[in-house]
Amino acid sequence: MPLAPEPPHTHGQAERVGIVLANLGTPDAPTAPALRRYLAEFLSDPRVVEIPPLVWKAILHGIILRTRPAKSAAKYASVWTPEGSPLLVWTKKQAKLLQGHLGERGAQVLVKPAMRYGNPSIPSVLEALKAEGATRILILPAYPQYSGATTASTFDAVTAWARRQRRIPELRFVHQYHDDPQHIDALRHSVLAHWQREGRGEILVMSYHGMPERTLHLGDPYHCQCMKTSRLLAEALGLKPEQYRVTFQSRFGRAKWLEPATEPTLKALAHKGTRHVDVICPGFAVDCLETLEEIAQEGREAFLKAGGQQFSYIPCLNDSAPGLRALSDLAWRHLGGWPLTEPSAVENEQSRQRALALGAKR
């Protein structure tokens, strides 16, 4: 593949720093055609589905993409907002607020949201940052817990783009922040604020996105990091082991997935006499289909039908002040050593003159 053409290099040009706030992705609309495009991209990623490609391609195009888009479109329609997909709306807000937070600390950086699947795509956002003069870019995946299917796939998209560039920006990657003290404290604030507003349930359920169990045995740290996040949050809230549960949602296919599963756990709690549960999703940076439809709607219905009386969903950190402070501090640490203030006109001219002088000597 030929390398992408580059604009002429200008000596002394101001260099800027950019941040890509990358989340999983979303369809462009809550319609079957949009879901078909989105699912085709998402489920074709070998990081997401670790089945031999020839076998999986037949299943994906012969069965799944013929039946699932319409069902998924109906689910998306139930949570779609006037501004669009909740995941994209919240990620855009986070990016804008993160740039503002960093600006208040003196960091003149460009922050743009990106989607691993769907739009705005990671390559298009990297191109936009490069066009605006970014020569140093921090990739910040919105996944507190590392997984090959999410974090590593984000890095794949970045490196695939980089392979097509003649001049690659200096790149840094945030690997994980599942046990970051400020992130845990932001989650604690979220739970306490909810309890103050809505009252406290008998059990706090911490639900994470599921993964096939085999990924744990193959060395993916995701399960262990989910458990650590849960333990740290429980300790921060002063919870005893019997006062919380850790579960996994969004199972797909016939393979064995990480357990215990969220919905069966909610039903079991109701059957055993638990009247009021609180549910939080600490693996999601912002609210999306998996939290708003699968948990706040389907999870609620399952718990109440099984005999529970009150189901309380605790929203993701979204644009909360504690969450944005934690995200800002995380980015600040990873930006360390990079020039974060834009040079003045005088400094730019001085740099240009030095470059010209050096060229004359050569």
Rounded to the nearest 5 degrees, what angle is found at the Cα of 281, between the Cα atoms of 158 and 268? 135
Give the pair of three-digit tokens for residue 195. 């309890």
Instruction: Give the C-alpha separation, 132 to 115, whole Å.
Output: 19
pLDDT digits (tens, 9 = 90+) for 102-120: 999 999 999 999 999 999 9
String of DSSP letters for 292-342: HTIIIIIIHHHHHHTT-SEEEEEP--TT-HHHHHHHHHHHHHHTTTS--SP
Instruction: Give the C-alpha separation, 54 to 45, whole Å.
Output: 13
Predicted confidence at residue 346, as pLDDT, reads 40
Confidence of residue 153 (pLDDT cuts 50, 70, 90): very high
pLDDT digits (tens, 9 = 90+) for 65-104: 999 999 999 999 999 999 999 999 999 999 999 999 999 9
For residue 293, say whether it is annotated as part of any ligand binding site: no
Confidence of residue 360 (pLDDT cuts 50, 70, 90): low
Mean pLDDT of the 192-202 span: 97
Give the pair of three-digit tokens for residue 2. 């030929």
**Cβ contact 37:27 at 8 Å:** yes
Question: Which domains, and CATH codes, for the chain?
Answer: 16-27+85-176+321-345 (3.40.50.1400), 181-314 (3.40.50.1400)
Residue 115 has φ and ψ, to the nearest 5°, of: -115, 135
Mean pLDDT of the 269-283 span: 98
Predicted confidence at residue 252, as pLDDT, reads 78
Mean pLDDT of the 319-344 span: 91
pLDDT digits (tens, 9 = 90+) for 231-243: 999 999 999 999 9
State yes or no: pLDDT of 358 exceeds 50: no
pLDDT digits (tens, 9 = 90+) for 337-350: 999 986 444 444 55
Q: What is the DSSP letter of 64?
A: I
Residue 114: name the closest of 76, 75, 136, 140 by CA. 140
Average predicted confidence (pLDDT) for the chain: 93
Mean pLDDT is lowest, of 28-37, 245-254, 335-344, for 335-344
Predicted confidence at residue 69, as pLDDT, reads 97
The separation between the first and the last C-alpha atoms of the chain, rounded to the nearest angstrom, is: 35
Predicted confidence at residue 355, as pLDDT, reads 46
State yes or no: pLDDT of 164 exceeds 70: yes
Confidence of residue 28 (pLDDT cuts 50, 70, 90): very high
Residue 303: name the closest of 328, 330, 270 by CA. 270
For residue 175, say whether it is annotated as part of any ligand binding site: no
